[in-house]
Protein backbone atom coordinates (compact mmCIF):
# COMPACT_ATOMS: atom_id res chain seq x y z
CA UNK A 1 0.00 0.00 0.00
CA UNK A 2 1.42 3.45 -0.91
CA UNK A 3 2.49 5.57 2.07
CA UNK A 4 -0.08 8.29 1.33
CA UNK A 5 -2.95 5.77 1.19
CA UNK A 6 -1.72 4.14 4.38
CA UNK A 7 -1.76 7.51 6.16
CA UNK A 8 -5.29 8.19 4.92
CA UNK A 9 -6.51 4.78 6.13
CA UNK A 10 -4.93 5.32 9.55
CA UNK A 11 -6.61 8.72 9.81
CA UNK A 12 -9.96 7.17 8.92
CA UNK A 13 -9.49 4.46 11.55
CA UNK A 14 -8.52 7.08 14.15
CA UNK A 15 -11.55 9.24 13.35
CA UNK A 16 -13.86 6.22 13.56
CA UNK A 17 -12.34 5.18 16.87
CA UNK A 18 -12.79 8.67 18.32
CA UNK A 19 -16.34 8.80 17.03
CA UNK A 20 -17.15 5.47 18.65
CA UNK A 21 -15.57 6.57 21.89
CA UNK A 22 -17.58 9.79 21.84
CA UNK A 23 -20.74 7.83 21.12
CA UNK A 24 -19.99 5.56 24.07
CA UNK A 25 -19.55 8.53 26.39
CA UNK A 26 -22.73 10.15 25.10
CA UNK A 27 -24.60 6.91 25.75
CA UNK A 28 -23.94 7.17 29.48
CA UNK A 29 -26.84 8.89 31.27
CA UNK A 30 -26.04 12.39 32.50
CA UNK A 31 -29.28 12.40 34.47
CA UNK A 32 -30.51 9.63 36.74
CA UNK A 33 -34.31 9.73 36.63
CA UNK A 34 -36.45 7.84 39.14
CA UNK A 35 -40.24 7.63 39.11
CA UNK A 36 -42.48 7.86 42.15
CA UNK A 37 -46.19 7.33 42.78
CA UNK A 38 -47.89 8.34 46.01
CA UNK A 39 -51.15 9.93 47.24
CA UNK A 40 -50.40 13.64 46.82
CA UNK A 41 -54.03 14.75 46.98
CA UNK A 42 -57.07 13.43 48.85
CA UNK A 43 -57.65 12.27 52.44
CA UNK A 44 -54.18 10.75 52.94
CA UNK A 45 -52.24 13.35 50.96
CA UNK A 46 -50.07 14.23 53.95
CA UNK A 47 -48.60 10.73 53.87
CA UNK A 48 -47.78 11.02 50.17
CA UNK A 49 -46.29 14.45 50.78
CA UNK A 50 -44.11 12.98 53.53
CA UNK A 51 -42.89 10.34 51.08
CA UNK A 52 -42.08 12.95 48.44
CA UNK A 53 -40.17 15.10 50.92
CA UNK A 54 -38.26 12.09 52.26
CA UNK A 55 -37.24 11.18 48.69
CA UNK A 56 -36.03 14.71 48.00
CA UNK A 57 -34.00 14.87 51.21
CA UNK A 58 -32.36 11.61 50.20
CA UNK A 59 -31.44 13.02 46.78
CA UNK A 60 -29.97 16.16 48.35
CA UNK A 61 -27.90 14.16 50.84
CA UNK A 62 -26.73 11.76 48.13
CA UNK A 63 -25.78 14.62 45.78
CA UNK A 64 -23.76 16.20 48.60
CA UNK A 65 -21.57 13.08 48.75
CA UNK A 66 -20.22 13.86 45.26
CA UNK A 67 -20.31 10.20 44.26
CA UNK A 68 -21.74 11.00 40.81
CA UNK A 69 -20.15 14.32 39.91
CA UNK A 70 -21.59 15.83 36.76
CA UNK A 71 -24.65 13.56 36.86
CA UNK A 72 -27.99 15.07 37.85
CA UNK A 73 -30.38 13.00 39.96
CA UNK A 74 -34.12 13.70 39.82
CA UNK A 75 -37.36 12.11 40.96
CA UNK A 76 -40.71 12.47 39.21
CA UNK A 77 -43.56 11.99 41.69
CA UNK A 78 -47.04 11.35 40.28
CA UNK A 79 -50.29 11.54 42.25
CA UNK A 80 -52.07 8.19 42.55
CA UNK A 81 -54.75 9.71 44.84
CA UNK A 82 -54.60 6.49 46.88
CA UNK A 83 -56.54 4.77 44.07
CA UNK A 84 -55.59 1.52 42.37
CA UNK A 85 -56.65 2.60 38.86
CA UNK A 86 -54.51 5.75 39.06
CA UNK A 87 -51.56 3.66 40.23
CA UNK A 88 -51.98 1.43 37.16
CA UNK A 89 -52.14 4.41 34.79
CA UNK A 90 -48.99 5.92 36.28
CA UNK A 91 -47.23 2.57 35.89
CA UNK A 92 -48.01 2.51 32.18
CA UNK A 93 -46.68 6.05 31.83
CA UNK A 94 -43.38 5.27 33.57
CA UNK A 95 -42.89 2.05 31.65
CA UNK A 96 -43.05 3.88 28.32
CA UNK A 97 -40.52 6.51 29.47
CA UNK A 98 -37.20 4.71 28.95
CA UNK A 99 -35.32 7.40 30.90
CA UNK A 100 -37.02 6.19 34.10
CA UNK A 101 -34.64 3.61 35.59
CA UNK A 102 -36.70 2.54 38.62
CA UNK A 103 -39.89 3.51 40.45
CA UNK A 104 -40.54 4.15 44.15
CA UNK A 105 -44.05 3.72 45.63
CA UNK A 106 -46.74 3.53 46.59
CA UNK A 107 -47.98 4.28 50.10
CA UNK A 108 -51.04 2.01 50.20
CA UNK A 109 -50.70 -1.74 49.78
CA UNK A 110 -53.89 -1.70 47.70
CA UNK A 111 -52.35 0.64 45.12
CA UNK A 112 -48.99 -1.14 45.07
CA UNK A 113 -50.64 -4.55 44.65
CA UNK A 114 -52.57 -3.19 41.66
CA UNK A 115 -49.65 -1.45 39.92
CA UNK A 116 -46.95 -3.97 40.83
CA UNK A 117 -47.90 -6.61 38.21
CA UNK A 118 -47.70 -3.93 35.48
CA UNK A 119 -44.13 -3.02 36.48
CA UNK A 120 -43.15 -6.64 36.86
CA UNK A 121 -44.40 -7.59 33.40
CA UNK A 122 -42.51 -4.68 31.85
CA UNK A 123 -39.33 -5.57 33.80
CA UNK A 124 -39.10 -2.19 35.52
CA UNK A 125 -38.19 -2.27 39.21
CA UNK A 126 -40.87 -1.04 41.62
CA UNK A 127 -39.52 -0.54 45.15
CA UNK A 128 -42.08 0.35 47.81
CA UNK A 129 -40.86 2.00 51.01
CA UNK A 130 -44.24 1.67 52.73
CA UNK A 131 -46.63 -1.05 51.53
CA UNK A 132 -46.44 -3.84 54.12
CA UNK A 133 -48.88 -6.45 52.80
CA UNK A 134 -47.06 -9.83 52.60
CA UNK A 135 -48.13 -10.39 48.98
CA UNK A 136 -46.30 -7.33 47.63
CA UNK A 137 -42.97 -9.06 47.03
CA UNK A 138 -44.72 -12.18 45.75
CA UNK A 139 -45.80 -10.31 42.62
CA UNK A 140 -42.56 -11.09 40.86
CA UNK A 141 -38.79 -10.51 40.60
CA UNK A 142 -39.09 -6.81 39.75
CA UNK A 143 -41.21 -6.00 42.82
CA UNK A 144 -39.25 -5.02 45.95
CA UNK A 145 -40.04 -3.66 49.37
CA UNK A 146 -37.97 -1.90 52.01
CA UNK A 147 -40.28 -1.66 55.00
CA UNK A 148 -41.63 -3.90 57.71
CA UNK A 149 -43.84 -6.79 56.63
CA UNK A 150 -47.15 -7.51 58.37
CA UNK A 151 -46.30 -11.10 59.24
CA UNK A 152 -43.17 -9.94 61.10
CA UNK A 153 -45.09 -7.20 62.87
CA UNK A 154 -47.87 -9.62 63.77
CA UNK A 155 -45.40 -11.97 65.46
CA UNK A 156 -43.75 -9.07 67.31
CA UNK A 157 -47.15 -7.71 68.39
CA UNK A 158 -48.21 -11.09 69.75
CA UNK A 159 -44.96 -11.52 71.69
CA UNK A 160 -45.28 -8.08 73.30
CA UNK A 161 -49.01 -8.35 74.02
CA UNK A 162 -48.77 -11.75 75.68
CA UNK A 163 -45.88 -10.58 77.84
CA UNK A 164 -48.16 -7.72 78.88
CA UNK A 165 -50.69 -10.34 80.02
CA UNK A 166 -53.18 -10.34 77.14
CA UNK A 167 -55.51 -13.35 77.16
CA UNK A 168 -58.76 -11.95 75.72
CA UNK A 169 -58.30 -9.36 72.97
CA UNK A 170 -60.76 -7.16 71.06
CA UNK A 171 -59.51 -5.97 67.66
CA UNK A 172 -60.43 -2.99 65.46
CA UNK A 173 -59.06 -2.46 61.95
CA UNK A 174 -59.73 -0.67 58.68
CA UNK A 175 -61.22 -2.64 55.76
CA UNK A 176 -58.40 -2.31 53.24
CA UNK A 177 -55.46 -4.53 52.32
CA UNK A 178 -53.30 -3.04 55.07
CA UNK A 179 -55.92 -3.30 57.81
CA UNK A 180 -57.01 -6.83 56.94
CA UNK A 181 -53.42 -8.09 56.80
CA UNK A 182 -52.41 -6.26 59.99
CA UNK A 183 -55.32 -7.50 62.06
CA UNK A 184 -55.39 -10.95 60.47
CA UNK A 185 -51.71 -11.72 60.93
CA UNK A 186 -51.62 -10.29 64.46
CA UNK A 187 -54.69 -12.36 65.28
CA UNK A 188 -53.07 -15.51 63.89
CA UNK A 189 -49.93 -14.94 65.96
CA UNK A 190 -51.98 -14.25 69.11
CA UNK A 191 -54.09 -17.36 68.68
CA UNK A 192 -50.93 -19.42 68.20
CA UNK A 193 -49.95 -18.26 71.70
CA UNK A 194 -53.29 -19.31 73.18
CA UNK A 195 -54.93 -15.86 73.19
CA UNK A 196 -58.70 -15.69 72.53
CA UNK A 197 -59.98 -13.00 70.14
CA UNK A 198 -63.32 -12.06 71.69
CA UNK A 199 -64.26 -9.33 69.20
CA UNK A 200 -63.15 -8.18 65.75
CA UNK A 201 -64.58 -5.46 63.54
CA UNK A 202 -63.39 -3.36 60.60
CA UNK A 203 -64.45 0.27 60.68
CA UNK A 204 -64.82 2.68 57.77
CA UNK A 205 -61.87 5.07 57.39
CA UNK A 206 -64.28 8.01 57.06
CA UNK A 207 -66.37 7.14 60.16
CA UNK A 208 -66.48 9.65 63.02
CA UNK A 209 -68.47 7.99 65.82
CA UNK A 210 -67.04 4.75 67.22
CA UNK A 211 -68.84 4.62 70.57
CA UNK A 212 -71.30 1.93 69.55
CA UNK A 213 -68.62 -0.43 68.24
CA UNK A 214 -66.50 0.23 71.32
CA UNK A 215 -69.41 -0.62 73.61
CA UNK A 216 -69.96 -3.86 71.68
CA UNK A 217 -66.29 -4.72 72.09
CA UNK A 218 -66.29 -3.97 75.82
CA UNK A 219 -69.34 -6.18 76.39
CA UNK A 220 -67.13 -9.14 75.45
CA UNK A 221 -64.92 -8.38 78.47
CA UNK A 222 -61.53 -8.14 76.72
CA UNK A 223 -58.38 -7.55 78.74
CA UNK A 224 -56.75 -5.60 75.85
CA UNK A 225 -57.96 -3.55 72.88
CA UNK A 226 -55.91 -3.75 69.67
CA UNK A 227 -56.05 -0.92 67.09
CA UNK A 228 -54.94 -1.85 63.56
CA UNK A 229 -55.62 1.69 62.36
CA UNK A 230 -53.90 4.85 61.15
CA UNK A 231 -53.57 7.95 63.31
CA UNK A 232 -56.69 9.88 62.14
CA UNK A 233 -59.07 7.01 62.98
CA UNK A 234 -57.14 5.80 66.04
CA UNK A 235 -57.11 9.26 67.62
CA UNK A 236 -60.92 9.48 67.44
CA UNK A 237 -61.28 5.92 68.76
CA UNK A 238 -58.97 6.69 71.69
CA UNK A 239 -60.80 9.90 72.61
CA UNK A 240 -64.22 8.23 72.52
CA UNK A 241 -62.84 5.20 74.36
CA UNK A 242 -61.66 7.42 77.20
CA UNK A 243 -65.00 9.25 77.20
CA UNK A 244 -66.70 5.91 77.88
CA UNK A 245 -64.52 5.57 80.96
CA UNK A 246 -62.98 2.30 79.72
CA UNK A 247 -59.96 1.04 81.66
CA UNK A 248 -58.93 -1.85 79.39
CA UNK A 249 -55.33 -1.35 78.16
CA UNK A 250 -54.88 -0.28 74.54
CA UNK A 251 -52.26 -1.62 72.14
CA UNK A 252 -51.61 0.04 68.76
CA UNK A 253 -50.22 -1.25 65.47
CA UNK A 254 -46.71 -0.08 64.52
CA UNK A 255 -48.27 2.50 62.18
CA UNK A 256 -49.47 4.29 65.32
CA UNK A 257 -45.94 4.69 66.66
CA UNK A 258 -45.84 8.24 65.34
CA UNK A 259 -45.95 11.79 66.63
CA UNK A 260 -48.99 12.33 64.43
CA UNK A 261 -51.03 10.11 66.75
CA UNK A 262 -49.78 12.00 69.81
CA UNK A 263 -50.74 15.32 68.26
CA UNK A 264 -54.23 14.17 67.26
CA UNK A 265 -55.11 12.05 70.30
CA UNK A 266 -53.55 14.18 73.03
CA UNK A 267 -54.04 12.81 76.55
CA UNK A 268 -56.26 10.01 75.22
CA UNK A 269 -53.13 8.20 73.98
CA UNK A 270 -51.59 8.00 77.46
CA UNK A 271 -50.68 4.45 78.41
CA UNK A 272 -51.04 2.99 74.91
CA UNK A 273 -48.40 0.40 74.02
CA UNK A 274 -46.96 0.12 70.48
CA UNK A 275 -43.92 -1.00 68.54
CA UNK A 276 -41.64 1.73 67.19
CA UNK A 277 -39.73 1.27 63.95
CA UNK A 278 -38.96 4.68 62.40
CA UNK A 279 -39.33 7.04 65.33
CA UNK A 280 -36.76 9.47 66.81
CA UNK A 281 -36.86 7.55 70.08
CA UNK A 282 -35.19 4.51 68.47
CA UNK A 283 -31.75 6.09 67.98
CA UNK A 284 -29.63 9.19 67.43
CA UNK A 285 -29.46 8.90 63.62
CA UNK A 286 -33.23 8.80 63.39
CA UNK A 287 -33.53 11.70 65.84
CA UNK A 288 -31.09 13.72 63.70
CA UNK A 289 -33.15 12.97 60.58
CA UNK A 290 -36.32 14.23 62.30
CA UNK A 291 -34.49 17.37 63.42
CA UNK A 292 -33.17 18.12 59.91
CA UNK A 293 -36.54 17.40 58.33
CA UNK A 294 -38.36 19.75 60.72
CA UNK A 295 -35.81 22.50 60.11
CA UNK A 296 -36.19 22.12 56.34
CA UNK A 297 -39.97 21.73 56.04
CA UNK A 298 -41.07 23.59 59.19
CA UNK A 299 -43.15 20.65 60.35
CA UNK A 300 -42.60 17.40 62.23
CA UNK A 301 -42.21 14.52 59.79
CA UNK A 302 -44.48 11.53 59.43
CA UNK A 303 -42.71 8.21 59.92
CA UNK A 304 -43.33 7.58 56.21
CA UNK A 305 -40.79 10.30 55.38
CA UNK A 306 -38.13 8.19 57.09
CA UNK A 307 -39.24 5.10 55.13
CA UNK A 308 -38.95 7.04 51.89
CA UNK A 309 -35.56 8.50 52.79
CA UNK A 310 -34.05 5.09 53.61
CA UNK A 311 -35.31 3.48 50.40
CA UNK A 312 -34.18 6.32 48.14
CA UNK A 313 -30.71 6.48 49.70
CA UNK A 314 -30.28 2.73 49.37
CA UNK A 315 -31.33 2.85 45.72
CA UNK A 316 -29.08 5.82 44.89
CA UNK A 317 -26.06 4.32 46.64
CA UNK A 318 -26.52 1.15 44.61
CA UNK A 319 -26.89 3.13 41.39
CA UNK A 320 -23.62 4.92 42.16
CA UNK A 321 -21.88 1.56 42.54
CA UNK A 322 -23.13 0.44 39.12
CA UNK A 323 -22.57 3.66 37.19
CA UNK A 324 -21.86 3.98 34.28
CA UNK A 325 -22.98 0.40 33.49
CA UNK A 326 -26.52 1.20 34.51
CA UNK A 327 -29.75 -0.31 33.15
CA UNK A 328 -33.19 -1.23 34.41
CA UNK A 329 -32.04 -4.82 34.60
CA UNK A 330 -28.80 -4.03 36.45
CA UNK A 331 -30.86 -2.30 39.14
CA UNK A 332 -32.98 -5.43 39.62
CA UNK A 333 -29.84 -7.56 39.86
CA UNK A 334 -28.30 -5.20 42.41
CA UNK A 335 -31.40 -5.15 44.60
CA UNK A 336 -31.55 -8.94 44.66
CA UNK A 337 -28.07 -9.39 46.15
CA UNK A 338 -27.79 -10.19 49.87
CA UNK A 339 -26.30 -7.25 51.75
CA UNK A 340 -26.36 -5.21 54.94
CA UNK A 341 -26.54 -1.43 54.78
CA UNK A 342 -26.14 1.32 57.36
CA UNK A 343 -29.21 3.57 57.59
CA UNK A 344 -30.81 6.16 59.86
CA UNK A 345 -32.72 3.19 61.36
CA UNK A 346 -29.47 1.33 62.02
CA UNK A 347 -28.11 -1.68 60.10
CA UNK A 348 -30.64 -3.32 57.76
CA UNK A 349 -30.02 -6.70 56.13
CA UNK A 350 -31.64 -8.02 52.94
CA UNK A 351 -32.42 -11.73 52.59
CA UNK A 352 -32.91 -12.80 48.95
CA UNK A 353 -34.67 -15.99 50.12
CA UNK A 354 -37.52 -14.08 51.77
CA UNK A 355 -36.98 -10.96 49.61
CA UNK A 356 -37.45 -8.87 52.76
CA UNK A 357 -35.38 -6.55 54.97
CA UNK A 358 -34.88 -7.09 58.71
CA UNK A 359 -36.27 -4.16 60.69
CA UNK A 360 -35.89 -3.82 64.45
CA UNK A 361 -39.01 -3.32 66.59
CA UNK A 362 -38.69 -1.24 69.77
CA UNK A 363 -41.35 -1.73 72.43
CA UNK A 364 -42.77 1.51 73.78
CA UNK A 365 -45.44 3.15 75.89
CA UNK A 366 -47.00 6.61 75.63
CA UNK A 367 -46.17 8.52 78.82
CA UNK A 368 -46.51 12.26 79.39
CA UNK A 369 -47.21 12.95 75.75
CA UNK A 370 -44.33 10.99 74.19
CA UNK A 371 -43.36 7.48 73.18
CA UNK A 372 -40.91 6.04 75.66
CA UNK A 373 -38.94 2.91 74.74
CA UNK A 374 -39.35 0.01 77.17
CA UNK A 375 -36.23 -1.89 76.07
**Residues 129, 57 share a domain:** yes
E strand or H helix at 302, and its extent?
none
The answer on 162 and 144 residing in a single domain is: no
* Orientation of helix 303-322 relative to helix 45-64, angle to 10°: 40
How much is the pLDDT for 206? 87
Quick one: 317 and 246 in the same domain? no
- Do both 214 and 120 map to the same domain? no
Domain of residue 70, residue span: 31-148+284-357
Helix, strand, or coil here: 147?
coil
Same-domain status, 238 and 303: no
Summarised one tens digit per residue, pLDDT across range 129-157 is 999 999 999 999 999 999 999 999 999 99
Residues 316 and 344 in one domain: yes
Same domain, yes or no, for 168 and 242? yes
138 within a domain of the structure (yes/no)? yes
pLDDT band at 167 (very low <50, low <70, confident <90, very high): very high
pLDDT at 9: 39
Number of structural domains in the chain: 2
| pLDDT score for 168 | 98
- pLDDT, tens only, 200-255: 999 998 899 999 999 999 999 999 999 999 999 999 999 999 999 999 999 999 99
Q: Would residue 17 count as lying in a domain? A: no
At residue 61 the predicted structure's pLDDT band, cuts being 50, 70 and 90, is very high
Residues 155 and 272 in one domain: yes
249-284 per-position pLDDT tens digit: 999 999 999 988 999 999 999 999 999 999 999 999
Give the three-state DSSP class for 345. coil
Instruction: List C-alpha distances in Å: 92 to 88, 97, 98, 142.
Output: 6, 9, 11, 15
Residue 219, in any domain of the structure: yes
In a domain, 20, yes or no: no
Residue 373 lies in a domain: no
**d(C-alpha 308, C-alpha 248), whole Å:** 35
Q: Pick from 291, 304, 284: which is nearest to 147 by CA? A: 304
Does any domain span residue 51?
yes
Taking residues 341-351, what's their average pLDDT? 95
Looking at the fold, whether 265 and 165 belong to one and the same domain comes out as yes
Domain boundary among 246, 276, 306: 276
Q: Is 91 left (phi over 0), alpha (psi -120 to 50) or beta?
A: alpha
- Are 305 and 257 within one domain? no
8 A C-beta contact, residue 358 and residue 153: no
> Which of these three, 248, 276, 304, is where a domain ends?
276
Domain assignment present for residue 240? The answer is yes
pLDDT per residue over 5-40, tens digit each? 444 434 434 444 444 333 333 345 689 999 999 999
Per-residue pLDDT, 12: 39
pLDDT confidence of residue 28: 57
pLDDT band at 96 (very low <50, low <70, confident <90, very high): very high
295 and 270 in one domain? no
CATH at 201: 3.40.50.2300
Q: Give yes or no: residues 187 and 113 share one domain.
A: no
Domain boundary among 225, 245, 276: 276
pLDDT exceeding 70 applies to what percent of the chain?
92
pLDDT tens per residue across span 280-335: 999 999 999 999 999 999 988 888 999 999 999 999 999 999 999 999 999 999 99
- Is 111 inside any structural domain? yes
Choice between 343 and 10, residue whose per-residue pLDDT is larger: 343
- Could you tell me which of 285, 284, 282 has the C-alpha nearest to residue 258? 282
Amino acid sequence: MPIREEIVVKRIILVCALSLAAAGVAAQPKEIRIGCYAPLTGPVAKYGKAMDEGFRMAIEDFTATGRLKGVAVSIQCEDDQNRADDGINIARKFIEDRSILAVLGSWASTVTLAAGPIYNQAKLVNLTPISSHPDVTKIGPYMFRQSIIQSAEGAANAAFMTELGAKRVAMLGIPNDYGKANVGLTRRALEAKGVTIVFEEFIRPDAQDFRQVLQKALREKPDMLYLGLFAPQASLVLKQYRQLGAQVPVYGAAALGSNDLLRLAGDAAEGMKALLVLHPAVGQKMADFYRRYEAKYKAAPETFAANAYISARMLLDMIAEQYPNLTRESIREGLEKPRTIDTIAGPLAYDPKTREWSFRFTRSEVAKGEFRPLQ
